[in-house]
Amino acid sequence: MSTEAEVTPVHSKRDVVQAMWGLMMGMFVAILAGTVVSNALPRIVAELQGSQSVFAWIVTTELLAMTATVPLWGKLADLYSRKLLIQASLSLFVVGSLIAGFSQNIEMLIVSRVVQGLGAGGVTALATIVMAAMIPPRELGKYSGLFGAVFGVGTVAGPLIGGVLVDTSWLGWRWCFFIGIPFTLAAIFILQRTLNLPVVRKEDTKIDYLGAFLIVSGVSTLLIWSSLAGQKFEWASGWTAGLVSLGVLLLVAAVRVEATAHDPIVPLSIFRNRTVSLTTIASALVGVAMFGGTVFLSQYFQLSLGKTPTQAGLLGLPLIFGLLISSTVAGQLITKFGKWKAFLVSGGVIMVGGMLLLSTITAQTTVFMVSVHMFVLGVGVGLLMQNLVLAAQNDVPARDLGATTSTLTFFRSLGGAIGVSALGAVLANKVSSLAAEKFGDMGGGSAGHQVPDLSVLPPEVRAVIADIYATATAEIFLVGAPFAVLALLAVVFIKEKPLKETSGDDRLAAEMAAGH
């Protein structure tokens, strides 16, 4: 194998800090893109004359494109200039945002969301990969904590920002897409000036396009199934059998192709590493808790507690603060002491506690108590999310850093996407059965499928609806708690290893030298 590389991979602290600003800016707008439209959807669909069925697709298409392409971006990062790739993904995001903001119809908007998703997939995968290349694992803790905080803030703050933009008459829903453009352009400019990474060219390497196609197709099929099941067709139906079978067959074919490919998109060898396998499982399960918590609590605030979309966004702040505080403090302590497993186990225990606390909420629970429960969940997720990536990155050869990092990111997004769909179906079924119980045939038929407009309902009906949604939301967290327990079990079995003192690029140079 012939290689060509720059030989000065050591980075000064100033270079690292400046590059981090660009990476964090890019990460924030990429995460924001997936959540900022949630409160704006009714206005968008009404203005573009779309039907009820396109609601989910405006969110799902972006999530599909982002999740399914993460492994491909990770593989490209192992082969080509990471600086060029992250700038290309940010540029794709800008293009998608411009098309979305100027959309004249639903079809144009959905195409724009695919382009946004492709860019967001690149940013979320590459930002962590670039960080590992520049910073030794021992120093990575404090930076990982900041990235975990950015991820959480982007996820939870999106609905709040979207609600404010829609409620501001001189801005409107189009600014949900325009708002990220200046930050993305600033990120591209900062990275051009500050990000200096060695370029490793492997001339005898080819992209495994068949493997990439099969992975993307299989994952997309399963995501389409999980987003439509329970809404367009029953969970137990011919459609479910067909889509799940097709998705599984495509992924089985992908595994066979990846096992024999010269340069696979996802090297199956990384799963022989116990740390990688366990952190991958835990990441998927954390995704369920993280996304499930943020998606369904906003609806609870509006329908059970009678809050406006903007107020519902503000009430999500305790979750952000919990995640922000725990991820940054844990990151600093990991860098200082070099120990990380205790934070993972503590995060798992606290996340289970947060899910169980939230399973007790009712329409009469005070905002203060719900905020405390959310803060607990945020602390648990903050201790787990980025530190799982750190544990895996520390335990793999530098040549597999890209593939390992993107695999963890991919499974976290996949867990979130399928978890939200499955928990959403649980919520809809519970609401429907409770509505049938309370209202009989008069209200039960459509209650699980149509979100009620509380402003047009008499007070006594409004109170019953509030109780129904509170009970259903509490059940969501009770159903989600076993996933959190499984995540805790996975991290308990991860073996703690000392954090390496050299950066990914320095390790790669040493590996390449030893191989010759």
pLDDT digits (tens, 9 = 90+) for 220-263: 888 778 767 766 777 788 998 999 999 999 999 998 998 888 77
Nearest by Cα to 187 from 227, 238, 150, 152: 150
**Cα→Cα distances 62→30, 159, 211, 222, Å:** 10, 16, 22, 15
pLDDT band at 482 (very low <50, low <70, confident <90, very high): very high
> 132 or 380, which is more confident?
380
What pLDDT sits at residue 5? 42
Contact 323, 378 (CB under 8 A): yes
Which is it for strands 201-202 and 3-4: parallel, antiparallel or unpaired?
A: antiparallel
Q: How confident is the model at residue 452 (pLDDT cuts 50, 70, 90)?
A: low
Instruction: Measure the CA angle with vertex 482, ends 330 and 229; round to 5°.
Output: 115
pLDDT grade for 42, boundaries at 50, 70 and 90: low
The string of pLDDT tens digits covering residues 109-151 is 889 988 988 998 888 888 878 887 788 777 777 777 677 677 7
The percent of residues in the chain predicted with pLDDT above 90, rounded, is 16
Query: What is the mean predicted confidence (pLDDT) over 379-388?
Result: 88
- Answer whether residue 97 shows pLDDT above 80: yes
Q: Where does residue 49 fall: left (phi above 0), alpha (psi -120 to 50 degrees), or beta otherwise?
A: left
Q: Is residue 20's pLDDT more than 70?
A: yes
State mean pLDDT over 152-168.
Answer: 77
Written as one string, the DSSP assignment of 253-270 is: HHHHHHHH-SS-SS-GGG
Give the per-residue pLDDT at 246.
95
Query: What's the pLDDT at 286?
Result: 87
How crowded is residue 274: how many other Cβ atoms within 10 Å of its Cβ?
12
Name the strand (E) or helix (H) holding 4. strand 3-4
Question: Between 94 and 162, whose confidence is greater?
Answer: 94
Going by pLDDT thresholds of 50, 70 and 90, the confidence category of residue 443 is: very low
- Tell me what the pLDDT averaged over the chain comes to: 80
At 354 the pLDDT is 94
| Residue 346 pLDDT greater than 90, yes or no | yes
Per-residue model confidence (pLDDT) at position 3? 43
Q: Looking at residues 18-31, what average pLDDT do you find?
A: 83
Measured in residues, the chain has a length of: 516
State residue 406's pLDDT score: 78
- 343 versus 205: the higher-pLDDT residue is 343
pLDDT digits (tens, 9 = 90+) for 197-222: 766 555 556 677 888 888 888 888 88
User: Would you give the distance in Å from CA 438 to the centre of its chain?
Assistant: 37
Give dist(CA 179, CA 162) in Å, integer: 10
pLDDT band for position 488 (cuts 50, 70, 90):
very high
| Residue 11 pLDDT | 59
pLDDT at 2: 40
Asked if residue 91 has pLDDT above 70, the reply is yes
Q: Which residue has the higher pLDDT, 228 or 193?
A: 193
Whether the per-residue pLDDT at 484 is higher than 80: the answer is yes
Give residue 22's pLDDT.
84
Give yes or no for residue 171 having a pLDDT over 70: yes
Distance of CA 383 to the CA centre of its chain: 16
Domain 3-207+263-515, what architecture?
Answer: Up-down Bundle (1.20)
Please give the radius of gyration of the chain, using alpha carbons only, rounded to the nearest integer: 23
Measured CA to CA, the distance from residue 34 to residue 373 in angstroms comes to 24
Q: What is the mean pLDDT of residues 275-296?
A: 82
Q: Is the pLDDT of residue 347 over 90?
A: yes
pLDDT over 70 for what percent of the chain?
Answer: 87
- Write down the pLDDT at residue 492: 95
Instruction: Tell me the per-residue pLDDT of 45-90, one tens digit each, with 9 for 90 and over.
Output: 778 876 555 656 776 677 778 877 888 887 788 777 888 899 999 9
Q: Which amino acid is at 88?
A: A
Q: Where in the chain is the domain with CATH 1.20.1250.20?
A: 3-207+263-515
pLDDT of residue 409: 79
pLDDT above 70 for 435:
yes
